[in-house]
Amino acid sequence: MDDHKDTNENPPGGEHQQDDRSHQHEHGEHDEAAAEADEPRVEQELLEDEAHPAAESERAVHEQHEHAGHEGKGHGHGSHEGHGEGHGGMHEGHEQMFRRRFFVSTLLSIPVLLYSEMLQEWIGFSVPAFPGSEWINPVFAVIVFAYGGVPFLQMAVPELKDRSPGMMTLISMAITVAFVYSLASVVFPTQSAFFWELVTLIDIMLLGHWIEMRSVRRASSAVDELAKLMPDTAERITESGDTEEVPVSELSQGDLVLVRPGASVPADGIVEEGDSDVEESMITGESKPVSKEPGDEVIGGTINGDGSLRVRVGATGEETTLAGIMRLVEEAQQSKSKTQVLADRAAGWLFYVALGAAVVTAIVWTVAISFDATVIERVVTVLVIACPHALGLAIPLVVAINTSLAARNGMLVRDRIAMEEARNLDAIIFDKTGTLTEGEHGVVDIATVDGVDEDDALRLAAAVESDSEHMIARAIREAANERDLTTPGASGFEAIKGRGVRANVDVSGFAGGSSDAFDGGNEVYVGGPNLLSQLDSEIPEHLQHFADEAGQNAQTVVYLVREGELIAAFAMADVIREESFRVVNALHDLGIEVAMLTGDSQDVADAVADELGIDTVFAEVLPEDKDVKVQELQDQGKLVGMVGDGVNDAPALTRADVGIAIGSGTDVAVQSADVILVQNNPMDVVRLVKLSKASYRKMQENIVWAAGYNVFAIPLAAGILAPIGVLLSPAVGALLMSLSTVIVAINAQLLRRVDLSLPNLSGVAPPTDAQATD
């Protein structure tokens, strides 16, 4: 039915232009982001050939994709599907590669451990010796170093070039020193070698990297999902009036195209002929189809309704609204700088501490006893002990458990950095339609003429709308069902284009037919103001007052007409979700500002915001401008989260410090977000913040347990208590390493006990379907 035209319709926007300040902001972050991205880039290039057979071709496709738009081509399915698949497959290949290296290195480490004299003495066991057995440790250690250790050396290069040592630098220093010293001990016998420490350190670091890759694997296919909205072909109308099927990429400005019912609009343009409702929710995020008639603009990628349209193409390829949104997603992804994780910062500190301690150790021992093998052994012991095994697991273990916990409670974490940042959010922006509201219109008020009961009026309207699939028709039927009303039969259904619907309602013998609504004729109409004009129906004063009030609240008014006489009016509005009241209160309790962003009119936005107690309102925002509102809050120095579900939310989701997508939203919104709420429950935003706080606390604790022993181990290894006969041996240092690893693993498991039901927050009820966390 095409009668309910949206008076608050937002004109579709064209290409979004970033302001100078936004460009400067992005450019200012580019160098830092590029430097921080060096490590994963080097890692990717290092591992691509082994991790994925199609990696090289995928990289070429990706480079082609970055330049494809310059020729004004359209975006079809075929040009993007391979990219998305290859990208996801490559990440999975990296994970499998680290898994394979871990298991192979661990297997090769067993002989080293068995034939380590220090371990034999420590544990009290022995293995049979044979000719050449003395070469088992150096040979297998060299293999493990070459196969499992060299990648860490290569990944440390960007850190050294950037003069920001981190985990890779610390690992590389420890395994290199242990490797060189141990090989030297084969030629120049010393009191001890570090072969078993070397292989176990490599094994543990490979395990941590494997867990990390598995936990943070994500498919960054937001742009591909956007491209899929565009059809591959279009029906172009020739000068003779015939139609020809052509690729969308061949369309030019000024072409006339035919858009059949149910088909996608192939390009931005102006309707020249035809009337239809167009589903624009994938672009505008608003749930109500927009009525289109000659002179109205349409957006490429939207879905035509029941009518047929002839559209004059106004923009194609990179000039379309959809292409502009795609560019915004790409720009926001590139401008988001990578936050350095705690473990990497701790590793950087340890690197400098270890070097400083090693220099001091060498100087002091040389002065005390002169330079000899003992001095070298002390220095090497300090450098090796400074790299704790547990530090490689401290963060990945928490991330893995965090991801599992979140998934079991309706939250899919796609970016661990965003999960860490959620604990510090200053403001959270909610998209209105489909997030704070149900995303579907409902009957919010009814007014009738004297003698007509509200229930009877609703029965008649539901009967007339029984054959319609329009959103408002469904809302009227649902309202009747909620009141347990019996709907009379109807026949002769007819849709009156642009005005409403009519039907003959059978009221004979109807139980509720005692009111005036069922007396007289049975021809009944339901429609908007245009219907009243066609029927020359006068509006009673109190119904006019009802309609005026509804208009002030930006509600749609639908009229019920029986035999030419107006007998009732229904006010329709998008219904606020029950959970929205609780989530706003809970976030306020956490000290987080709540903002709302919508393309609706200011009146609608203010009404919803006043009812929910929202702090900041962004109304009448064009689809391509939503990310600018996120930037506005960020420019105020706030850490911003964004919650949305539509394609138009994708740039804002990506621009935000933490992007949160409602799981029932479009694929592109989900692919652009850092966290997805699977259960479509905005209350999970509060649970996300609490889980983030608990996880970050565990990360801090694990880093203390993983690296804290160095406060004692490094000075003891350096020999600070040597004058009184206390000197840390490599065996005791290894024992401390192992103990800290066990403690870190146990402490990470304690995260499973976090209570996500949030009983300590006022106004927040525990979820009825909460998953057990232990």
* Catalytic annotation, residues: 431
**Number of residues written out for the chain:** 774
CA-based R_g, the chain, Å: 34
Any idea what the Cα angle at residue 448 is, between residues 444 and 450, rounded to 5°? 155
**Paired strand residues for 662:** 677
Instruction: Find the Cα–Cα–Cα–Cα dihedral 21, 26, 29, 35, rounded to 10°.
Output: -160
Q: In this structure, what DSSP letter does residue 439 have? A: E
Three-state SS letters, 161-211: HCCCCCHHHHHHHHHHHHHHHHHHHHHCCCCCCCHHHHHHHHHHHHHHHHH
Q: Is 453 exposed, middle or buried (0-12, 13-18, 19+ CB in 10 A)?
A: middle
Any idea what the Cα angle at residue 421 is, between residues 415 and 426, rounded to 5°? 135
Any idea which residue has 């088992």 for tokens?
Answer: 136
| 3-class secondary-structure state, position 6 | coil
Burial readout 566-589 (b: 16 or more C-beta within 10 A, e: otherwise) = bbbbbbbbbebbebbebbbbbbbe
Q: Count the neighbouring beta carbons within 10 Å of the beta carbon of residue 628.
A: 19
Provide DSSP, 535-591.
Answer: HTPPPPHHHHHHHHHHHHTT-EEEEEEETTEEEEEEEEEEEEPHHHHHHHHHHHHTT
How far apart, in whole angstroms, are the C-alpha atoms of residue 486 and residue 507? Answer: 11
Tokens representing residue 435 in the block: 């997030």
How far apart, in whole angstroms, are the C-alpha atoms of residue 687 and residue 313? Answer: 47
| 3-class secondary-structure state, position 521 | coil
**Paired strand residues for 411:** 677
How far, CA to CA in Å, does 76 sit from each of 224, 226, 254, 305? 9, 10, 21, 21
How far, CA to CA in Å, does 224 sit from each of 78, 358, 653? 10, 52, 16
Q: Is 637 exposed, middle or buried (0-12, 13-18, 19+ CB in 10 A)?
A: exposed
How far apart, in whole angstroms, are the C-alpha atoms of residue 178 and residue 375? Answer: 15
Q: Is 511 exposed, middle or buried (0-12, 13-18, 19+ CB in 10 A)?
A: exposed
Q: Residue 647: which residues within 8 A CB-CB, separation 6 or more?
A: 226, 229, 282, 283, 285, 322, 325, 623, 666, 668, 669
**Paired strand residues for 446:** 570
How far apart, in whole angstroms, are the C-alpha atoms of residue 597 and residue 617? Answer: 6
Look up residue 321 and give its amino acid: T
Task: Indicate if the alpha-carbon torsion angle 405, 410, 413, 419 is positive or negative.
Answer: negative
Tokens representing residue 278 in the block: 């167009």
How far apart, in whole angstroms, are the C-alpha atoms of residue 302 and residue 711? Answer: 62
Look up residue 251 and give its amino acid: L
Helix axis angle for 578-589 and 684-707, nearest 10°, is: 40
Where in 200-352 does DSSP place strands (E)? Answer: 233-237, 243-247, 256-259, 268-273, 276-279, 290-292, 297-298, 303-304, 309-315
Tokens representing residue 120 in the block: 């034999």
